[in-house]
Every structure is written in structure tokens, then in C-alpha cells.
Structure 1
Amino acid sequence: MEETITHLPEVKDGKCFFPFHHRDGIFYDCVKFKSKHKWCSLNETYQGYWKYCSEEDFAKCVFPFWYRHLIYWECTDDGDAFGKTWCSLTQNYNKDKIWKYCD
């Protein structure tokens, strides 16, 4: 049986709260659960208050960032099995392990 997410109406002028807790996860960027567009929570723990993400809401890469034994000043494909470029969302990927794919 597929789980349905119940949303209150979208709040258009709210500010995304990152990281936010939803289900059993912690999210550092906009998500796409049961919707056509990515959205974010307006609370630290998702309580039904949300908005669709605009361009300025998406998580930004942090440069420079530390990965393994190197410092990176741009997106890298190091460590990605598919050769896609990615970046850290914090200055120390080794410690925080928070990342996203680059466009």
C-alpha cells in the first residue's frame, strides 16, 4: 500500500527551513515526495507547512570543500560511480557527508 502525504495548503511567502526532518530522514535540500515539483518544509520538523521551491531555495554548493585528502574549489566527479559531478553542502564533506549533484 502506497503512503499518501497530507499537505496543508502551500504557503507562498514562507522561507524553507534546512535541514528539516520528514518521515525518518533529514533533508538539506528541496525534496520531491508525491508531487510534480520539489518542495520544502517551513518548520524544522515537517508539520504540514510547506512551499514549492523557487531557484533561490535550492541548496547551494559550498566552496572550497574538503573531500578525502583534497580541497575542491568546484564540482567534482571524484568518488561518484556514474561519473556525475557533485559538491558538498558544507565545508567538510569528510565529517558531514552532505552533498548534491551539480547541474
Structure 2
Amino acid sequence: MFESIFLQADSSTLMNMVPFIAMLGVFYFLIIRPQMNRQKKEKQFQTNIKKGAKVVTSSGIHGKIVEMNDNDNTVVIETGAGKIKFECSAISMELSKKYLTEK
């Protein structure tokens, strides 16, 4: 009698956990995995950026890269107002013709 009660309890708790496990799987494939891919592409973009590229920063400033400092991971961007020093991580996208035609 006690064995059947324990077996019923084990199978019912397992069946109650299946929706939570399925939700975790859906959460991973719809949210976490695409975000990891975006971060990987963004990191690759930031390492491949070259001097002379026209870029937009995450704050919306448009300019052209005139100097790159690999030591402190910064770039100097020339804008209409002058030259400004930014972290490489602040660059959000490139506006060069090559990049725009690939999209």
C-alpha cells in the first residue's frame, strides 16, 4: 500500500515538473540563445572596426573614426563639432557603403 502511494507521488510530481522544464527550454531557445548570438556578433563587429569607418555611437553621435588605441580600447571619432574619444563598446553600427549593402 505504501509503495503504491510513493509511486503515485513520484509520477505526479514528475508530471507537474514537465511544464516548467518545457518553459525553461522555450525560454532558452527564444530569449537566451538569440541574445548570446547578438552579443557574439557585436563583439566581432567591435574588434573588426577599422580606421576611417563612418560609425554611429550608442548615444546617436555620427562620425568617422580617425584614431584607434588598442591599449586602452578607445577610438577617437571626428564629428561635426570636433574630435571625441569613446570606448569601442560605445560604437553601435557602421555606416560605410560596404556595411549598408550587406544588410
- TM-score interval, normalised by the smaller of the two chains: under 0.3
| Greater helix fraction, Structure 1 or Structure 2 | 2
Using the size of structure 2 for normalisation, the TM-score is: 0.26
Q: For the pair shown, which has the larger CA radius of gyration, 1 or 2?
A: 2
**TM-score relative to the length of structure 1:** 0.26
